[in-house]
Amino acid sequence: MAAEVLAAGGIQVTVYDRMRSVGRKLLLAGRGGLNLTHSEPLEAMVRRYGSAAPRLAPALAAFTPDDLRAWCAGLGQDTFVGSSGRVFPTQLRATPLLRAWLRRLDTLGVERRVGEEWLGWDGTSLRFSGSTADPDLSVLALGGASWPRVGSNGAWVVPLRGDGITVSPLRAANCGFDVAWTSVFRDRFAGTPLKNITVSCGGASARGDTTITTAGMEGGAVYMLSSMLRDRIEDEGHAVLTLDLLPDVSVTDLTRRLERGRAKDSVSTALGRIGGLQPVGVGLLREATGNAPPSDACRLARLAKALPVDLVGVQPLDRAISTAGGVALGEVDGSFMLHRRPGTFVVGEMLDWEAPTGGYLLQATLSTAVAAARGALEWVRREAPRGA
């Protein structure tokens, strides 16, 4: 995106990527339908970025979710708002968008040099695995450190820190968590989705789906609370996540239903048949009670509505959806230019911000890229160090 804005502004741009092709993480995100942004009002969206919100707000206001959708439409990729307010391309894939985008960059004269890993600086030059370059300005958009096999591996932390730039430790965001499941539960339910539940911890809650994994739990609802759960596990060694397995039924209603129907049913039959609980939910109740769910209807209903699951670890960064930490926002100016290296801009997941899933990751990535490129155009016109 930075390349597009710079090239459209008359700059000769070369894109370097360590992989053999560009945009691999975008293609990976496309497997989940490519949630490009969110349709909620901008003020609500900005709050999703937590402590980084004040620094990201101007960039989000300058390249808004509507601008992002218009940009997609300009590439022939219409978008739609899903029932959750999330925005997707109509085709629910990244490939057509990326193809159209690369064609546009070709038309703008952007050169692509793939299989070239940036290793650091030699004075003011950029050192790559196969060459060096001495551009008038550069934009670092090297991503975080999740899913390194699609490109971003976080190795850039070393040269940046070596240059005296503060980089907060890279940590998993929108990640799964470890649970010490019994082998019986794991064997039966690993891979099973737990649909439409509410999860809560420390006063925060989220509604959606999660999936039971061999190691623990992952998925949308858990990701919504993942930064808080991660911090709590790092501080206290574990975090208790409370699940409401039947968020649309009150404890009183569920108790009544169970009391009416339970006489001849087993606990699991009663919960499944009368309570409407999925088998995986019944399994979780058994898991939480050492395979001895309460026989009393009220206690059983209360447990189904507030089931504790002990999260004992954070799943590794390389499997996370995104990365927290990165280049400290104090290191860059309003256009994301490094104070220590005028003419070098940093954008996207490399910067120290995090947000839940919901389109917020791509939106902030693209908004910071636009802001940096516009800032770079102004900077180059102001400074024109070598008449660029």
Ligand X SMILES: Cc1cc2nc3c(=O)[nH]c(=O)nc-3n(C[C@H](O)[C@H](O)[C@H](O)COP(=O)(O)OP(=O)(O)OC[C@H]3O[C@@H](n4cnc5c(N)ncnc54)[C@H](O)[C@@H]3O)c2cc1C
Which spans of this chain sit near ligand X (rule: CB under 6 A)? 16-19, 22, 24-26, 28-29, 32, 34-35, 117-118, 141-143, 146-147, 151-152, 155-156, 321-322, 348-349, 359, 361-362, 365
Closest contact distance (angstroms) between CB of 175 and ligand X is: 10
Computed on alpha carbons and rounded to an integer, the radius of gyration of the chain in Å comes to: 24
Token pair, residue 358, equals 């919901």
Closest contact distance (angstroms) between CB of 192 and ligand X is: 20
Nearest alpha carbon to residue 346 among 357, 356, 336, 360:
336
d(CA 171, CA 90): 32
The amino acid that residue 315 corresponds to is Q
The answer to whether residues 230 and 172 touch, using CB atoms and an 8 Å cutoff, is yes
- Please list, in sequence order, all residues whose beta carbon lies within 8 angstroms of the beta carbon of residue 92, skipping any fewer than 6 positions away: 30, 33, 34
Closest contact distance (angstroms) between CB of 264 and ligand X is: 47
Q: Which is nearer to ligand X, 142 or 239 (CB)?
A: 142
- Please list, in sequence order, all residues whose beta carbon lies within 8 angstroms of the beta carbon of residue 263, skipping any fewer than 6 positions away: none
Closest contact distance (angstroms) between CB of 295 and ligand X is: 43
The answer to whether residues 335 and 379 touch, using CB atoms and an 8 Å cutoff, is yes
Q: Which is nearer to ligand X, 38 or 257 (CB)?
A: 38
Q: Which is nearer to ligand X, 301 or 314 (CB)?
A: 314
Q: Which is nearer to ligand X, 50 or 272 (CB)?
A: 50
Helix, strand counts (H, E) of the chain: 15, 19
Strand partners, 201: 204
For tokens 């010490």, what's the residue? Answer: 180
Q: Which is nearer to ligand X, 283 or 326 (CB)?
A: 326
Closest contact distance (angstroms) between CB of 189 and ligand X is: 22
Closest contact distance (angstroms) between CB of 358 and ligand X is: 7
Query: H or E element: which one contains 168?
Result: strand 167-173
Q: Which is nearer to ligand X, 267 or 372 (CB)?
A: 372
